[in-house]
Amino acid sequence: MESGKKSIGEPWENRLRMIIAYSVVLLGILAAFSIVALIIYRDIVDDSWYLIAKEHFAAVIGLPCAAVASFILIRAFEHQNEKIEFKILGAELNATSGAIVLWVVVFLSITLAIKTLW
């Protein structure tokens, strides 16, 4: 424990957590690039999808990207702190329930920012 970071579990468990966290981030980036490639392809082949995306950009592009960004942020936070635990309105949220509630809060805050700025 020289670095000040507490070690929970076996070394292979920590390594597996790190591999999964990086995989999730890479899959999120891959999904974002796939969406951009799909938009470019659909623009070349057919103009109707582009017109819908241009008219309703916040709904067609913004909300899916907000969901992916929320997921990546929560996974990165979870990887850094290993467990998400907090109390809200008298309820104690830990492990999966804490991550789900935090994801919803982050997603709704990004959605509110998109709505406010759009």
pLDDT > 50? residue 1: no
Give the model confidence (pLDDT) of 46-102 as tens digits.
777 777 878 888 888 888 889 888 888 888 787 777 777 778 788 887 777 778 888
DSSP labels, 55-109: HTHIIIIIHHHHHHHHHHHHHHHHHHHS--EEEETTEEEEHHHHHHHHHHHHHHH
